[in-house]
Amino acid sequence: MNYFILIILGLLILALIFFCLQLWKSANTLQKRYAGITNIQSEITATKVRLNQAKQALLEFEQDSQARESKLTQEVKQAESRYDSLKKEISSLEENLEDISFGLYKPHFSFKTSEEYKTALENLRNRERQLIRDGRAAVCPTHWTVGDSAKEGQKMIKQYTKLMLRAFNGECDAALANVSWNNIERMLERMRKSFEAVNQLGGVMNMSVTSDFLNLKQDELRLTYEYEEKRHQEKEEQRRISEQIREEEKAQQEIEKARLQAEREEQDYEKALNKAREEALQATGARLEKLTEQINSFEAKLDQARQNKQRAIARAQLTKSGFVYVISNIGSFGERVFKIGMTRRMEPMDRIDELSNASVPFPFDLHAMLYSDNAPELETALHKLVQDRKVNLVNPRKEFYREVKLEEIEAFVKDRGLSAQFIKVAEAKEYRETIAMRQQNSAATAAHA
C-alpha cells in the first residue's frame, strides 16, 4: 500500500514538473512576445519553491514509512519470541505425548536396589531441611527495617523468604507427583522456570531462592524418577520369577499326574493280564485264541504304561529338562516375527494354547518343538543367536524377535546335535480365512454398488 502511494505521488510530481516546464516555456514565449508588458519571473520562482516543498514532503513520507515498517518488523519478532516462550511454558505443564521429543534418559545415580534409592532420597531430603534451617535455601543480603526497627525488618525478611520457599516447594511437589519416563526433562525445566519466576517476584526486595536449593530439588526429582524405575524393574523381575515358579509348579503337577496315571494303568493292566493268563490255562479252541490276543494287547499296554511311568520319573528328576518352542502369529504381529520360549509341561502344546488366549486376535502357529535335558540353556542360546533383532529392547520378558529366518535356527539346533522337524510355512488358519472373508465382502459390496 505504501509503495502504491509513493508511485502516485511520483506521477503527480512528474506531472507537476511537466506542467511547470510547459508553463515556463509559455512564459518565455510570452516574455519574448510581450516583453515589457508583464514580468513572470516572480511566478516561476514561486513555482520552483512549491516544487521543492513537494519533494521535501515526499522524502519525509518515505522516511516515515521506513521507520514504521522497521518498528512493525521489530514488534512481530518480539511477539514471535514471546509466543515461543509461552508455548514452552505451557508444554512444561501439559502431559501430551505428541508434543514430546522422545529420547533416552541418562541416569544420574547408580544404586543397585530400590532400597538404596529410597535411602539416598531420604538423605537428600534431610539435606534440604538442613539448608532451610541454616537459612541458606532463600537469602536476602539487604538489611531491611520496618518502622525504623531492624528487628521487624528481620521478621519481615523471614516471613517473605518462607513464603517464597513454600511457593517454590509447591511447584516442585507438583513436578515430583507427575514425573514419568516421558516428561522428566520437562519437569526439570518446569522447576527451573518456577525458580526464575519466584526469584523475579522477590527481586524488588532483593530476596531469592538459592541455586543450591534448586540443585537439591532437581536431584530429588531425578532420584524420585530413578527410584520408581528401579521399583518397576524389580516388580518385573519378581513377576518373571513368579511366572517361572507357576510354570514349574504346573509342570511338576503334570509330571506327578502323569506318573500316578501311569502307575494306575500299570496296576490295572497287570491285573487284567494275570486274569487273562489264568483263564488261558483252562481255555481251549476259539476261547484260547481270543484270550491270547487279549494277553498280547495287555502286555503291550502294560509295557507302554511302564515306559510312561519311567518317563515321568525321569522328567521329575531332570529339573532342567523341557521343551523350547518357536511360534509365530502372522495375524497379530506380521511376517517373520517369532516368539522363542520354554516350557517344562508334559504336554507342551498346553503352553502354546495358553498363549493363544483372548490377549491376541489370532492363535499362535507352531514352527518347532525342541526337547532338551537343559531347556533353559538351549533357550538362552537361541535368544543370543537373534538378540540383535529383539522387538522389545526394554523388557527382557518379551521374547519376540523380528526378521528371523527359521533356517538359521534349524542350522543352529543341528550344530548342537539336536534334531527336530521345522514347519516353515505357518498355517494361520483363522487369519487366512479372515482375509478371504474380507475379500468376499469387498467383492460383494462392489457388485451391489
pLDDT in tens, 60-97: 777 877 887 788 788 778 777 777 766 655 554 444 44
CA distance linking residue 91 with residue 100, whole number of Å: 9
Task: Give residue 337's Cα distance to chain centre.
Answer: 21
Mean pLDDT of 115-131: 93
For 395, residues 6+ apart whose C-beta sits below 8 A from its C-beta are 236
Mean of pLDDT values over 335-344: 91
Residues 6+ apart with CB under 8 A from 55: 13
| HEC letters along 214-265 | HHHHHHHHHHHHHHHHHHHHHHHHHHHHHHHHHHHHHHHHHHHHHHHHHHHH
The rounded Cα 345 to chain-centroid distance in angstroms is: 36
Q: Give 231-257 pLDDT, tens digit per residue.
A: 888 887 777 767 766 777 676 677 677
Phi, psi dihedral angles at 325 (to 5 degrees)? -115, 150
pLDDT of 318 > 70? The answer is no
Residue that wins the pLDDT comparison between 128 and 447: 128
- Predicted pLDDT at 329: 94
| pLDDT value at 411 more than 70 | yes
Confidence of residue 33 (pLDDT cuts 50, 70, 90): low
Residue found by looking up cell 521487624 in the block: 152
**Separation in Å, CA 199 to CA 16, 168, 202, 208:** 65, 9, 5, 5
Average pLDDT over residues 384-411: 90
Given a cut of 60, is residue 362 above it in pLDDT? yes
- Predicted TM-score (pTM) of the model is 0.54
For 285: left if phi > 0, alpha if psi spans -120 to 50, otherwise beta; the answer is left
Confidence of residue 312 (pLDDT cuts 50, 70, 90): low
Query: Highest-confidence range of 270-279, 318-327, 433-442, by mean pLDDT?
Result: 433-442
Residue 272: its pLDDT value, please?
Answer: 77
Tally DSSP H helices, then E strands, for the chain.
12, 6
> In this structure, what C-alpha cell is assigned to residue 431?
487369519
Sequence-ordered alpha helix ranges (H) in 179-210: 184-202
* Nearest to 364, CA basis, from 404, 337, 396, 398: 337
Strand (E) or helix (H) holding 324: strand 322-328
Residue 38 banded pLDDT, cuts 50, 70, 90: very low
Q: Which long-range contacts (CB under 8 A, 24 or more apart) does 94-103 make?
A: 95/178, 95/183, 97/182, 100/182, 100/183, 100/186, 102/182, 103/185
